[in-house]
Amino acid sequence: MSTDGHSLPVLDVLDMGIALAGLRITRYPEPMYHVFFRIRLHNAGECSLRLKGRKWFLQDNTGDSRIIEAAQVFNQSPILTPGAVFSYSGNHSFNRPPVRMELRFFGEVQWGTPFISPALIFPRQCFRAPRL
């Protein structure tokens, strides 16, 4: 299910949060920037939702960007009943320092109507290297 152009209706009942995010830099053989995260999703609506995929927008400090769409949410299509919580961990790697990460989920409400979530935007502090 492609979400190009966001022709799907936006449904704002998925309470999304970043439970944890941080940057790790590896230096050899080339510098790589790894953003690790834990996402928490809570169905704050009154009907069940089936998450069928996700869409990432990633950008580095040179302005280069990537869009990554996946047909599932980490090999799952979870159903979130009202009040249910789903969480997962992951990471993205960059060749240059990251400056922007946005995440949207798409799926269906219990009666089959498709939707896309508003963007979950990672705060800039997620991309700062830890102080030693």
What are the backbone angles phi and psi of residue 126, rounded to the nearest 5°?
-65, -20
Q: Interior CA angle at 48 toward 79 and 45, to 5°?
A: 125
C-alpha 75/C-alpha 88 separation (Å) is 11
CA distances to 36, 50, 112 from 131, rounded to whole Å, are 17, 40, 48
**pLDDT single digits (tens) 33-71:** 999 999 999 999 999 999 999 999 999 999 999 999 999
**pLDDT single digits (tens) 7-30:** 888 888 899 999 888 899 998 888
Q: What are the structure tokens assigned to 94, written together?
A: 């960059």
Q: What superfamily does domain 7-124 belong to in CATH? A: ApaG domain (2.60.40.1470)
**DSSP annotation of 62:** T
